[in-house]
Structure 1
Amino acid sequence: MTNLDNNHYSESTDNKRLKFLNRASKKFSTGDTLALFAVGTFGLHLITFFLLILLYGSYAQLNKKPPPSLVQLETGKGIKVTPLGNSERTPQVISRFVSDTMTLMMNWSGTLPPTTVEENAKPIKDKGIDIRERGLRGSKITSGAWQASYALSEDFRQEFLKKLASMTPQGVFKGTTQVVLIPLSIQSPIKISEGKWKVKLIANLNVFDQSNTTGEVIPFNKEIFVRAVVAPEAPVNTSELAAVIYQVRASGLEIYAIRDLQAENL
């Protein structure tokens, strides 16, 4: 090989080396960037996939655990509970709500519901609650009935109180008359739609006064319509009236209609 050929070969080799150095000094090409992005994205997908598997395993283990059935109160007392939806209530709770509400509303003793041991031994006379409207002659209902009326829906309460006042003997507030509701049967609640039930109440109203000590019996057979509502949270410091309202609505239920129960439905 001649010197000319050797020089040409040497220059060709140097040029190739220089090209390599020049190419190495340049930034990544668009194709290289897309390839790295694809690899990175694939890696992230793999990591996400494994995290989802771990999360699914945690949920599966949680689903196998039975729901909590015991709640501890601030007093330290434990009570058993049943998991229910927002608009669900047990038949026992509905029946107890109807019984307690109607008993408080229809028992007219002429004395205030006792709140202390002293009042239980020596009841305070019930002066009644006047629900009269302006320009109209006044009429009263008992304090217990007024308290229980907060278990009624607002659109039903006002009209029912007027009806109740017309039924209440004025002798109740003079101490000469007493009326006692005696429930004979409270049938199991019948669900009529989501969060709504009807309950059949078979009862008697026994009316006692000075002229009839044995008592007059008046059938009180009603179909009571109940629906689920949000139970209010009672604050720590509250008035006596607010405490009564919270108490009667603590079951998360309200009565939105009452109608006479026909003989064929008894």
Structure 2
Amino acid sequence: MNTLYRNARRLIAIVFLVMAVKLAGLEVPAYAETDLHLIYLPHRLTETSNKQYDRLLDEIFTGTELTVAREASPMKRALTLFLSDRNSCLFPISVKALHAVAEPDAIVSSDLIDIVSLRLYTPTGDAEKAFTSVDDFDPKRVGYIAGSGTVQGLGPKHELFVPIPSEEQLIRMLELGRLDAFLGHHPDTALALEDLNRPGLLRVSPITVSNVRFPISFVCHDTADGRHFIEEVNARIRQLHQDGDIRRVLGPHANLPTDAEDAIGAQVSQ
């Protein structure tokens, strides 16, 4: 009841504000519909899964007055669409990852949503054995997600790693002994294991490989519409973090900015 009362008061206040602005002869800025290009992630963002980022987008946009046209597509296509349209925005993306694959014009980014990290996955084996490094494996028997640029910072050996199309195939090849280890994105691999109903199948490195971490945010071109979009989205992101709802929406595997600060003792940089 209190929530309904507050919402009603807020709506009335907005109506009176708009009327006052019109009576004063002031113009209310009209913002265009935003094309939001979404990077398809099979376990987090499909526009039909009702998981993770799908739920997050619904939570964010139901609390704003933004008009948004959403389309999910593979990363390469989403990037191409975003870079060719200055009236568009992109999600989920890390600013440093974007600059690693493209040179966009001036951009603006939102507050952080969560952090994607690179982890090493191996068969369970001896639970008491000290966790190994990726350097301890024959690089020709180490897999990674095809198209991922995260392995490029791991030295010349990365050229010998085996690109595999999906998390499910990586998991299966490790299970069959066709790979000795693979480099996977967290929380995507954890979610893939859950979808396979095998959450304890593999061992995962407790820390990120070579400190490879990608803070995730919305990114828009630096235009009036883009800045307005980011302002509106930021208000919702901050509210979700402040209320603790971000954990409910993204689930237990998500690495939130506060989690990362607690773990590494430093602010995560975009």
The TM-score by the shorter chain falls in which range? Answer: under 0.3
TM-score by length of 2: 0.20
In the superposition, the TM-score normalised over structure 1's length comes to 0.21
Per chain length, whose mean CA-contact separation is higher, i.e. which structure has more relative contact order (CA < 8 Å, sep 6+)?
Answer: 2
